[in-house]
Amino acid sequence: MDFATALQILDSTIRLATPLLLACLAGLFSERAGIFDIGLEGKMLAAAFFSAAFAAISGSVWVGLLAGIAASMVLSGIHGLASITFRGNQLISGVAINFLAAGLTVLVAQAWFNQGGRTPSLAGDARFNPIEWPLAGVMENIPLLGPVYAELVSGHTFLVYIGILAVPASWYVLFRTRFGLRLRAVGENPGAVDTAGISVVRLRYTAVAICGLLCGLAGAYLATGLAAGFVKDMSAGRGFIALAALIFAKWRPWYALSACLLFGLLEAIGNRYQNIEVIGITLPVQFMQALPYILTVVILAGFVGKAIPPRAGGEPYVKER
């Protein structure tokens, strides 16, 4: 593999890891507050559709982004209502959201655009375009450093940089602020937080809202940044891979970045090399395409028992009287 090919793979890794990273951080906030959310997939899918649909209708990607975030936050509100207010089963609520989004997006897309569950292709101001950093074209011819700056640092869309910046921001909020301390405490011992006079319900709803915001960004990126429109089931299991990355990262932002980049790298390699020969055996295309999902199963099998989730996770809080 030459240097140019390696750069292209790393460039694809960053692009493909962005929706996983945003969804992983979304699950991080929710689960740190004690609300398990396997509905990340559904929220991403709904955000992808509504962002593409409103971008196509309005011609503005920013309108589409707001619509995608709004759709994701509505589903997050439903999940919060079911699991916090009514103290329902959080896993069942998440599954219901996934089913709802999978069916609703195709139904509404067909009703609005009559294109078999798709949205029209996006172009121009209706989708996010790459941002060229200063001097990227000039530095491109400088050995090693120039191509790295021009291809890896420069040339990504707005939401890619937002995803990267969200990692240190999440770390700072969770581990260096009073809000983050309280949020983590709610996921470990909500009774103690309640005794201190802090609203458990308010903190958990705040975490669920942050989860909806980040999932909205992830879904909008899928349809208006990574692709140029919505197609049926375009999230393609990324929400579940994000959950696996979250477990692998042990609910920590910087580890989440590493885990998502690993998944993105495997997907980039699978897309780049459709046929790889190992010990004289040519691996089929389907194996390379399934590689990220195979790794998901391996990680879940190997790390679920070792990764310790928040102690109050998945359990509704009942205030003592």
What does residue 281 show for φ and ψ, rounded to 5 degrees? -110, 125
What is the distance between the alpha carbons of residues 13 and 172, in angstroms, rounded to a whole number? Answer: 25
What is the distance between the alpha carbons of residues 18 and 205, in angstroms, rounded to a whole number? Answer: 25
Torsion of CA 288, 293, 295, 299, to 10 degrees: 180
- Condensed to tens digits (0 to 9), the pLDDT of residues 200-224 reads 999 999 999 999 999 999 999 999 9
Give the pLDDT mean for 59-78: 97
Residue 142: how many other CB atoms lie within 10 Å: 13
Torsion of CA 127, 130, 131, 132, to 10 degrees: -150
- CB 208, CB 26: distance < 8 Å: no
Average pLDDT value for the chain: 89
pLDDT at 275: 66
- Give the right CATH number for 3-303 from 1.10.3470, 3.40.30, 1.10.287, 3.40.80: 1.10.3470
pLDDT at 272: 78
Amino acid at 25: L
pLDDT at 137: 74
Residues, the chain: 321
- Condensed to tens digits (0 to 9), the pLDDT of residues 278-304 reads 666 766 777 777 777 787 777 767 665
Report helix, strand or coil for 123. Answer: coil
pLDDT at 150: 82
Give the pLDDT mean for 250-255: 92
16-49 burial code (b ≥16 CB/10 A, e <16): bbbbbbbbbbbbbbbbbbbbbbbbbbbbbbbbbb
What is the distance between the alpha carbons of residues 117 and 264, in angstroms, rounded to a whole number? Answer: 27
- Condensed to tens digits (0 to 9), the pLDDT of residues 158-204 reads 999 999 999 999 999 999 999 999 999 999 999 999 988 899 999 99
pLDDT at 222: 96
Give the pLDDT mean for 29-33: 95
- CB 85, CB 317: distance < 8 Å: no
Q: Is the pLDDT of residue 276 over 70?
A: no
Provide the pLDDT confidence category of residue 277 given band limits of 50, 70 and 90: low
Residue 238: how many other CB atoms lie within 10 Å: 28
What is the distance between the alpha carbons of residues 244 and 193, in angstroms, rounded to a whole number? Answer: 29
- Condensed to tens digits (0 to 9), the pLDDT of residues 133-146 reads 887 777 777 777 87
Q: Is the pLDDT of residue 77 over 80?
A: yes
